[in-house]
Chain A
Amino acid sequence: MTVQQVLFFLFGAIALGAAIGMVTARKVFHAALWMLLAFFGVAGLYVLLEAPFFAAAQLFVYMGAIGVLIIYAIMLTRGMMRQRLPRVNDQWWFAGLLAAVLLVVLVWLVWQHPWATTTAAAPEDSLNRLGLTLVDPEGFALPFEVASVLLVMALIGAVTIVRER
């Protein structure tokens, strides 16, 4: 087993184990902390996939921004933390069954499909290429601009929704 495979199992176990900890956590705040750990495991997987930019963005955007937003939301709705409610609704067994069936189908699909993979190394300037593709009119320039409009609209929309009247 190579070092990469050991690291894959390490980060994969962190991500998957923390995800399971998140859905089974009794308290919402603990669920948020498990979620941050799952994001960290996924960031490790991005490093293994030779996408260091996405590993850094995972730390900043997911663990930083989204994690703080979710913890803020938990604090703002902290009346919910005092209530002793069951964690899951009464269709949890159906949801679990559906998720398990989907997992079995996906794993079966993945294993029986012959993937045409390449062993070529990732180019040294892959981040450079990503930047050029994002602003290339032949590439993703229009979706890139639309994404920035979407972010501004989400910002204004969020402020409008929570404003006290």
Chain B
Amino acid sequence: MVPLQWYLVLSAAIFCVGLYAVLARRNAIVILMGIELMLNAVNINLLAFWRYTQPEAAVGQAFAAFVYAVAAAEVAVGLALIVSIYRNRETVDVDEINLLKW
């Protein structure tokens, strides 16, 4: 059987790649993709802990299901905002979206 640590290390690596995408990329759509990657890493963790510590309880799976629902809501609203910003400002470069910055 695969040790639990392997899953945790892999999901930590995917999380950090997603974090880098969120902090460093300029295109707002790629930043949203990075957030999806981070949520996926969290889900791997939740399901790995469910499988390796309490497989008879469904709590870990329930949390993973909620992460799915919230991720779907987040990506719908986030992409709507990006499309709306693009209509008004002709860009999705987060360096140029600075209306709230002073």
**Partner-B contacts on A (CB < 8 A):** 2, 4-5, 8, 12, 15-16, 19-20, 22-23, 28, 31-32, 35, 38-39, 42, 45-46, 48-51, 53-54, 57, 61-62, 65-66, 69-70, 72-74, 76-77, 79-80, 85-89, 91-92, 94-96, 98-100, 102-103, 106-107, 110-111, 115-123, 126, 129-130, 132-134, 139-140, 143, 147-148, 150-151, 153-155, 157-159, 161-162
Smallest CB-CB separation from A21: which chain B residue? B17
How far, in angstroms, from A132 to B50 measured CA to CA in the complex?
Answer: 16
Report B-chain residues with C-beta under 8 Å of the C-beta of A130.
Answer: 58, 61-62, 65
Would you call B2 and A107 a contact (CB within 8 A)? no
Would you call B56 and A69 a contact (CB within 8 A)? no
How far, in angstroms, from A88 to B57 measured CA to CA in the complex?
Answer: 43
A64 CB → nearest B CB, Å: 11
Would you call B5 and A77 a contact (CB within 8 A)? no
User: B-side binding surface: helix, strand, loop or mixed?
Assistant: helix
Given the contacts A87-B26, A102-B19, A130-B65, A107 and B37 also touching, CB distance less than 8 Å: no
Q: How large is the interface on B (under 10, 10 to 19, 20 to 34, 35 or more residues)?
A: 35 or more
**Partner-A contacts on B (CB < 8 A):** 1-10, 12-21, 23-27, 29-30, 32-34, 36-37, 40, 43-44, 47-48, 50-59, 61-62, 64-66, 68-77, 79-84, 86-87, 90-95
Given the contacts A23-B20, A49-B48, A151 and B69 also touching, CB distance less than 8 Å: yes
Report B-chain residues with C-beta under 8 Å of the C-beta of A122.
Answer: 51, 55
Would you call A38 and B37 a contact (CB within 8 A)? yes
A128 CB → nearest B CB, Å: 9
Would you call A48 and B76 a contact (CB within 8 A)? no
A153 CB → nearest B CB, Å: 8
Given contacts A32-B29, A70-B79, A77-B82, 10 further A-B contacts (CB under 8 A): A4-B1, A4-B2, A16-B10, A23-B21, A49-B48, A61-B72, A89-B25, A94-B23, A118-B52, A154-B74
How far, in angstroms, from A28 to B33 measured CA to CA in the complex?
Answer: 10
